[in-house]
């Protein structure tokens, strides 16, 4: 007879949480109107306190525009918005494929150390510093 106390609940991997959060955020972008996204309140705490943009400022607008096919506006709101939408989709696909095959979810730390991800991170940081310097 199996011991019911020995059963452990499988842990949810960080990549699964990030993928789920990203998919929910992209789903929410479909619900917001691109016609009025510029009229909304400033949600970024850093920008509210300093008046300066953080590295992620503009991503919400970029995702809303992308969700509605407004590519030019998406890129102008944040040049890394479309890339991040694709990255979330790729991560969600990898997580679902791992679940389907009953394998462990992708290791988020290992994914973050890949040269492509490091290069995009460096480009994003450079963009953020240049944008911040232009606002000063």
In a domain, 1, yes or no: no
Domain count, the chain: 1
Residue numbers of the domain that contains 121: 11-135
106-117 pLDDT tens trace:
999 999 999 999
pLDDT band at 54 (very low <50, low <70, confident <90, very high): very high
13-36 pLDDT tens trace:
999 999 999 999 999 999 999 998
The DSSP code sequence of the chain is: ---GGG--PPPPPHHHHHHHHHHHHHHHHHHS-TTSGGGSPP--HHHHHHSS--TTTTHHHHHHHHHTT-HHHHHHH-TTHHHHHHHHHHHHHHHHHHHHTT-PPP-HHHHHTSHHHHHHHHHHHHHHHHHHHHH-
In a domain, 128, yes or no: yes
In a domain, 6, yes or no: no
In a domain, 105, yes or no: yes
In a domain, 5, yes or no: no
In a domain, 33, yes or no: yes
In a domain, 39, yes or no: yes
């Amino acid at each position: 007879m199996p011991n019911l106390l020995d059963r452990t609940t499988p842990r949810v991997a960080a990549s699964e949480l990030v993928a789920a959060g990203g998919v929910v955020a992209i789903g929410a972008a479909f619900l917001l109107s691109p016609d009025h996204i510029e009229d909304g309140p400033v949600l970024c705490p850093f920008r509210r306190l300093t008046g300066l943009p953080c590295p992620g400022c503009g991503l919400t607008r970029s995702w809303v525009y992308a969700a509605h096919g407004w590519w030019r506006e998406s890129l102008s709101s944040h040049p890394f918005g479309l890339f991040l939408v694709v990255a979330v989709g790729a991560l969600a696909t990898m997580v679902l494929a791992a679940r389907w095959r009953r394998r462990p979810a992708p290791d988020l730390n290992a994914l973050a150390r890949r040269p492509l991800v490091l290069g995009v991170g460096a480009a994003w940081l450079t963009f953020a510093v240049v944008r911040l310097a232009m606002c000063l």
